[in-house]
Amino acid sequence: MSFRTKAKAKAKKAGKKPKPTRPGADSEGAIGQLADGLESQAQITPAEPDYGEPLTKVFTDGQYPEGEICEYREDNLWRTTNEEKRALERLHADEYNEVRRAAEAHRRVRYAVRDFIRPGISTTELCNLIENGTRRLIEEDGFKSGIGFPTGVSLNNCAAHYTPNAGDKTIVQQGDVLKVDFGTHVNGRIIDSAFTVTFDPRYDNLVAAVKDATNTGVREAGIDVRLTDIGEAIEEVMTSYEVELDGKTYQVKPIRNLYGHSIAPYIIHAGKSVPIVKNGDPTKMEEGEYFAIETFGSTGKAYVREEGVCSHYAKNPDSTAPAPMHVPRAKTLLDAINRNFGTLAFCRRYLDRIGEEKYLLGLRSLVDSGIIMAYPPLNDEPGSYTAQFEHTILLRPTCKEVLTRGHDY
């Protein structure tokens, strides 16, 4: 889930179009690309995703798989074999196992729905597939386990924070660039990971640029690393790519007012922001922290504004204000939010799902009073295209763990 605040690429020569891949193949290009045509894919796609069994029935010993393990470099290499640091990790074994369960649910859900992400699916149906799969695999249980934040399915120049409200009839089209951003959690340990889907190979370099940039950010992140240095490395990689659209060549540019972010228990946007451009921030990453390393690339102005109907919300963890007395519905709505979401992000569809009705005036009052924070859609200029990739990492005492790494990205 994106956060907005008030090194040259080696994989591919800039501007060169990769070869199209078969549907569902792992590649630098589109996930689920329709190279063989929509009709043939429709014939092989099952009626509904095969999510598999709930994870507790798969991992009967209660131990969940580690993510990708990366040794620290240079001045932190000593941590790898330090016995004191190993002992410290053993104290956090239960915490690590919880977040790995959330990460495994994320991987399995996105694998299961991949073949369903294609032109003709509605954004509402896609969100339902992802969220129902999450609820099944993670065995949703209030604050113990469930969805980490609303599923983002932002299209084209909309970079982030779009999920359909009730009655939204938006359909994914052949020429769309779709960002899929969803979260899971176990006991408040939130996993935040995102990927981009396209159906036209002309967007392949845009997708490749952002995927490469995110992997660069993951690689550069570590204990005592300055946030601005990560942003500088990301910017260098992303801007080395170009994409040709309708006979015009665009440099892929990082969206300078979007950030990655630290993650705290039950709080998706914690105190630190990870830039995707060099910004001079000397703040350092620290041992034990969780970060969402996400990058956004654009063919437009590379600057987003809040536009459109809001769907994403979260309780302000710093607010102690009571619900406004002049709007009675605000108090009952806040009570429902506290019972069902706490400080976890939610959307209007989730309020509908728990049976809340006629709540818009109360919700607006809570936002105006600063108790609830609103996150409207974030859009670059019309006609532009944006892409996103994101991983959650954990800076363990002995190593860096890329919790959300999978065979897809």
Residue stretches of the annotated binding site: 161, 181, 192, 261, 269, 294, 390
SS3 22: coil
Q: What is the spatial distance between Cα 227 and Cα 200, in angstroms, rounded to a whole number?
A: 34
Distances (CA, A) of 330 to 228, 315, 365, 374: 41, 13, 7, 15
Say how many C-beta atoms besides its own lie within 10 A of residue 89's C-beta: 15
Contact, 137 vs 161, CB < 8 A?
no
> Which residues pair with residue 391 across a beta bridge?
293
Q: How far apart are the first and last CA of the chain?
A: 17
C-alpha span between 346 and 124 (Å, rounded) = 15
245: nearest Cα among 385, 339, 376: 385
User: What stretch of H or E contains 43?
Assistant: helix 38-44
- List of long-range contacts for 373-376, beta carbons under 8 Å, 24+ apart: 373/313, 373/314, 373/315, 373/316, 374/310, 374/312, 374/313, 375/161, 375/310, 375/312, 375/313, 375/314, 375/345, 376/161, 376/306, 376/307, 376/308, 376/309, 376/310, 376/312
* CA 282 distance to own-chain centroid: 25
Binding residues for a divalent metal cation: 181, 192, 261, 294, 390
Contacts of 41 by beta carbon, 8 Å cutoff, 6+ apart = 23, 34, 115, 118
Q: Which residues are annotated as a binding site for substrate?
A: 161, 269
Cα dist. 227→8, 219, 221 in Å? 19, 13, 8
- What is the set of active-site residues? 181, 192, 261, 269, 294, 390
C-alpha 225/C-alpha 247 separation (Å) is 41
**Nearest of 389, 37, 20 to residue 207 by alpha carbon:** 389
Cα separation of 257 and 380, whole Å?
11
Structure tokens at 103: 């990460």
